[in-house]
Amino acid sequence: MPADGGIGAATARREDVRFLTGVGNYTDDINLRGQAYVHFLRSDVAHGTLNSVDTSAADGMPGVLRIFTGADFAEVGGLPCGWQVTDRHGEVMQEPAHPVLAQGKVRHVGDPIAAIVAETREQARDAAEAIEVDIDDLPAVIDMKAALEDGAPKVHDDLTSNLCYDWGFVEENKGAVDEAFANAAHVTTLELVNQRLVANPMEPRVAVGDYNRGTDDSTLYTTSQNPHVIRLLMGAFVLGIPEHKLRVVAPDVGGGFGSKIFHYAEEAFCTFAAKALNRPVKWTSSRSEAFMTDAHGRDHVTKIELALDADNNFTALRTDTHANMGAYLSTFAPSVPTWLHGTLMAGNYKTPLIYVNVKAVFTNTVPVDAYRGAGRPEATFQLERVIDKAARELGVDPIALRRQNFVTEFPYATPVAVEYDTGDYVATMDKLEEIADLSGFDARLAESQAKGKLRGLGINCYIEACGIAPSNLVGQLGARAGLYESATVRVNATGGITVMTGSHSHGQGHETAFPQVVADMIGIDASMIEIEHGDTANTPMGMGTYGSRSLAVGGSAMVRATEKIINKAKKIAAHLMEAADADIELKDGQFSVAGTDKSVAWGDVTLAAYVPHNYPLEEIEPGLEETAFYDPANFTYPAGAYACEVEVDPDTGKVTIERFSAADDFGNIVNPMIVDGQVHGGIGQGIGQALLESCVYDESGQLLSGSYMDYAMPRADDVPFYVVDHSCQTPCTHNPLGVKGCGEAGAIGSPPAVVNAVVDALQRAGHGVTHIDMPLSPSRVWQAMQG
Amino acid sequence: MYAFDIERPTRLADAVKLLSDSVESQPLGGGQTLIPTLKQRLAMPDRLVSLGAIDEIKGICTGDDGALCIGGTTTHADVAAGAGAYPALAGLAGNIGDPAVRNRGTIGGSLANNDPSACYPAGVLGSGATVVTNTREIAADDFFDGLFATVLEEGEIITEVKFPVPEKAAYMKFEQPASRFALVGVFVAKYGDGVRVAVTGASEEGVFRWSEAEAALSADFSAGAIDGLSVSGDGMISDLHGSGDYRAHLVGVMTKRAVAAA
């Protein structure tokens, strides 16, 4: 292994030096000469007819450069949706227009009505207050089931209803599933809500549009997880700018959690306005704006039923879910409750028959799209909650019931269209029982009781699908994008390497982990390798970072490109040593001729590539730079088992997490410290969902939880010290590194563990509580205890 | 925020004069409420008069009568560190907000704002403290006047708060999960002439004294003395974080815990 860390080394994150010492370069740090500022005037009503926008009093105010309204975008494309779902009747989903600025109607609080560009932010805000907006309020639809009733107000007048699609999966299995339920020895039913969340990355969104009149080039600096995707969507579908005239840069990005995947109106606006005004135009979201414009997450209402035979084997699973799309279709919204959710309903279990029905619904709320886990937390939560409920109803141990139904043979084709390549769910459960010290629970229970506290233990398993692929399959499922990744490995003359990856790092530590892989392959120090990402001008077309795909897909592309580099370098080395290509070996950065003591160093070969005086020019080109695109054969399937122990204060209902243990199987591990951090962060967000976070609208569509005064984010003292183990490793069989994904696991696996634990605590104390909807706030838990 | 002028007088008299002249002015304490309000353009004063540079109304001392006297612009952090003579009050101050809030926010600012979920109103009312201004002394029982309202006149500045030090006292706060303001906070103080119980966070009328509990605890200062007593959920705040009935329940729980901790 390289001295400063190859594959498997817990190398400290090199990017933290700049992040933690204040020398990062975030989008809001970018200020261009002549830059103007935009302020968006946003709807303060959830639903209304937009009669007129009178800017006459504002147009001449100090500093105002121009005020744009929906009319300015009448000839401009709307924001596109990147996934088209086909419903259970073979019809494509209803897909409404999504204008950059509202046209004719406003559809949620925060919908942009006008954009004021001025010399300063405050001048733009001043002018916004002078704009006269005439809106006739319309009744808002907020509740999904009410939105589907006959006569409900329509969010989009040109659609037939508020139903986006009615998806059945697998539709052909429906009859068999129903029959299995009719023949079941036991059926457990659970109705639950997977509540709406706000992603809340530390850095709010920012966009800076720039235009060069001399070259007719446009540039957008933006807080994005996938700049190439934004370039394609915005260039091709909104503004009509070809890729070679449009550069998108996503510099340091302070967290995304999914919310920065999507193409947003503000990005298109700043790019458009920069050209219209021939000046850079900047927008920086306030936190208040983030609450009402960043795509929200989750928001499913589900009924799940589990059928078991007389021996407690799972025989069938049936779910009925309403999924909130919000007022418009965000970029990948339709895929989340369908292909990222239905395909995971088998979980870790060999349930032979599964039917999932999802109705996606438009409401007068902020659009909902992928948020850390995206569909998989929703699947895991309902499945692991219903299994826990079944165990209680049947009076069997919840761990034993799970073990009995585990998938144990791989590859395993689920009844929901995916094939798990590897896994060992028995091993992760065994490991969990060990690290969580389950045998010591009774003693800890007695300690809690002695303090007057209730104590409960919650267990759950999870499986997730990371690195969604391959492109030809997802295309059949409705994706309007490919899901490969790219890498260019540029070896410099003196041996240092720059890797340009289409994966984007916004907290994941790519700049540390990716060099560890290349260093390991060549046998040089990781410090000789630098990662570049986030700029479409210098990185090959990439699909970006989400769905825990970076190492499995982007890392694999980098491996393929590095393999090409090594092959070519061996040819050069063979020439230098006057040996046959096939006899060249590379070890510890030295090329040697097998069976001889002849060798040349890595740096000798790279120098020869760029100073090709003694070089086989007739056989190979000079230089040492290779690009690879990698399109995976399958998803990867990380899995694990989690345990949570809680104390509940019987007087107040307050839940305290006392212990949290996670046994994950991520396949091979490149940097175990980064993996720990990813799991810690994921569990923190899962605990946030389980206990604290909730995005709430009132009946009129006003956002009640529109700031941190009412939206409870997890703080350090809300979470325990985690026990995290990833020693169970079944390597992925189809990518070159044998890696899976770890970014979302914690957020997927932790909410059901917490809720199972609280229900356990209450039941041990004699309360007949079978379920509490998240967040399990003190008042909700107390209310549940009141019966 | 809208544009405004700012003055930083160093003498109380200058601040009073600035606040009484013709320019529409607003006093600025630690700014922990006012600055966010300005940033959201929910207020547009022409001028802020910062009280932070007036040394004569800052700091902690002991009065001739033994009362703990805290200057109006003393920060929560300074009270937490310097009010050792009154540990329950120091504890209250040390658990307001977070370190940034405690290093900026002031006792006078908090009291003048009278947020219904703030901690200090419970400490002041529960201690029967006296609020001293540039013009008068106001008993705590007379000072608070409903949500975000006090009897302070325009331009009147809190210069000092005088706390009689009790035999025993404690403050118990049950935090609202998001803001960590008090969902319910109860301050209990036992004096030679009786017990005072002040409740913040719960009532739609702002901080209030729970007289039944005071009577019971004056007779028997034990948590058990509260058994059987309850406040009604009517008139209690009901919101995302808890119903009126839940808050009413917590009043009893937090009172008992405060008595036990005193």
Q: What residues have CB less than 8 Å from A153, skipping those under 6 apart?
A: A47, A138, A139, A140, A141
- Torsion angle, alpha carbons of A12, A15, A21, A26, to 10: -160
pLDDT value, residue A533: 96
Using a CB-CB distance cutoff of 8 angstroms, which residues of chain A are in contact with residue B3? 122
Query: Whole-number mean pLDDT of chain A?
Result: 97
How much is the average pLDDT of A97-114?
Answer: 98
- Confirm or reject contact between B253 and chain A (CB < 8 A): yes
Quote the CA–CA distance of B15 and B22 in Å, as a whole number: 13
Give the CATH number of domain B5-163: 3.30.465.10
Percent of chain B surpassing pLDDT 90: 98
CA distances to A493, A664, A757 from A748, in Å: 45, 12, 16
The minimal CB distance from A711 to the residues B178, B250, B253 is found for B178
Quote the CA–CA distance of A546 and A531 in Å, as a whole number: 18
pLDDT of A696 above 90: yes
Chain A residues near any Cβ of chain B (below 8 Å)? 122, 125, 129, 288, 651-652, 654, 691-692, 694, 696, 704-705, 708-713, 775, 777-779, 782-783
A454 CA: distance to closest CA in chain B (Å): 17
Q: Respond yes or no on whether the N-terminal peptide bond of residue A775 is cis (omega within 30° of 0).
A: yes
Which of A222-226, A474-478, B184-188 bottoms out in mean pLDDT, i.e. has the lowest?
A474-478
Query: Which residue of B1, B42, B176 is the best one to mutate when testing the A interface, meaning the one whose CB has the most A CBs within 10 A?
Result: B176
pLDDT value, residue A280: 98
ipTM: 0.96
How much is the average pLDDT of A546-573?
Answer: 96
Quote the CA–CA distance of A58 and A116 in Å, as a whole number: 9
pLDDT of A657 above 80: yes
A715 CA: distance to closest CA in chain B (Å): 10
pLDDT value, residue A468: 87
Using a CB-CB distance cutoff of 8 angstroms, which residues of chain B are in contact with residue A782? 246, 249
Using a CB-CB distance cutoff of 8 angstroms, which residues of chain B are in contact with residue A713? 178
- H/E stretch holding B257 reads helix B244-261
Q: What residues have CB less than 8 Å from A740, skipping those under 6 apart?
A: A466, A548, A552, A636, A637, A638, A665, A666, A667, A732
Count CB atoms within 10 A of the CB of residue B168.
16
Q: Using CB atoms within 10 A of its CB, is residue A439 exposed (0-12), middle (13-18) or buried (19+)?
A: exposed
Using a CB-CB distance cutoff of 8 angstroms, which residues of chain A are in contact with residue B40? 288
- H/E stretch holding B256 reads helix B244-261
A182 CA: distance to closest CA in chain B (Å): 41
Q: How would residue A606 be classed by pLDDT, with cut points 50, 70 and 90? A: very high
- Confirm or reject contact between B246 and chain A (CB < 8 A): yes
Quote the CA–CA distance of A555 and A289 in Å, as a whole number: 35
Percent of chain A surpassing pLDDT 70: 100
Quote the CA–CA distance of A770 and A762 in Å, as a whole number: 9
Nearest CA in chain A to B97: A709
pLDDT value, residue A3: 82
Kindly determine whether residue B246 and residue A692, on different chains, have CB atoms separated by under 8 Å. Answer: no
Note the pLDDT tens digit of each residue in A252-275. 999 999 999 999 999 999 999 999
Query: Whole-number mean pLDDT of chain B?
Result: 97
Backbone angles phi, psi at B81, to 5 degrees: -85, -25
pLDDT value, residue A703: 97
Note the pLDDT tens digit of each residue in A189-246. 999 999 999 999 999 999 999 999 999 999 999 999 999 999 999 999 999 999 999 9
How much is the average pLDDT of B149-167?
Answer: 97
Note the pLDDT tens digit of each residue in A312-352. 999 999 999 999 999 999 999 999 999 999 999 999 999 99
Percent of chain B surpassing pLDDT 70: 100
- Confirm or reject contact between B4 and chain A (CB < 8 A): no
- Alpha helices by DSSP H, listed for A222-321, are 227-232, 265-277, 287-293
Nearest CA in chain A to B3: A122
Quote the CA–CA distance of B246 and B248 in Å, as a whole number: 5
pLDDT value, residue A279: 98
Q: What residues have CB less than 8 Å from A417, skipping those under 6 apart?
A: A169, A170, A343
Note the pLDDT tens digit of each residue in A417-467. 999 999 999 999 999 999 999 999 999 999 999 999 999 999 999 999 998
- The C-alpha angle with vertex A357 and arms to A356 and A361, in degrees rounded to 5, equals 140
Quote the CA–CA distance of A135 and A131 in Å, as a whole number: 12
Per-domain boundaries in chain B: 5-163, 168-261
pLDDT value, residue A5: 86
Note the pLDDT tens digit of each residue in A5-26. 899 999 999 999 999 999 999 9
Quote the CA–CA distance of A733 and A740 in Å, as a whole number: 10
pLDDT value, residue A601: 97
The three-class DSSP label of residue A5 is coil
Using a CB-CB distance cutoff of 8 angstroms, which residues of chain A are in contact with residue B183? 778
Q: How would residue A787 be classed by pLDDT, with cut points 50, 70 and 90? A: confident
- Confirm or reject contact between B242 and chain A (CB < 8 A): yes
How much is the average pLDDT of B232-246?
Answer: 97
Which CATH fold would you assign to the domain B168-261? Enolase-like; domain 1 (3.30.390)
Task: Provide the 8-state DSSP code for A524.
Answer: S
pLDDT value, residue A4: 83
Is the pTM higher than 0.95? The answer reads yes
pLDDT value, residue A763: 97
Interface of B with A in 168-187 (CB under 8 A): 174, 177-179, 181, 183
**In terms of Cα–Cα distance, which of A106, A115, A105 is closest to A40?**
A115
Quote the CA–CA distance of A76 and A70 in Å, as a whole number: 10
pLDDT value, residue B156: 96
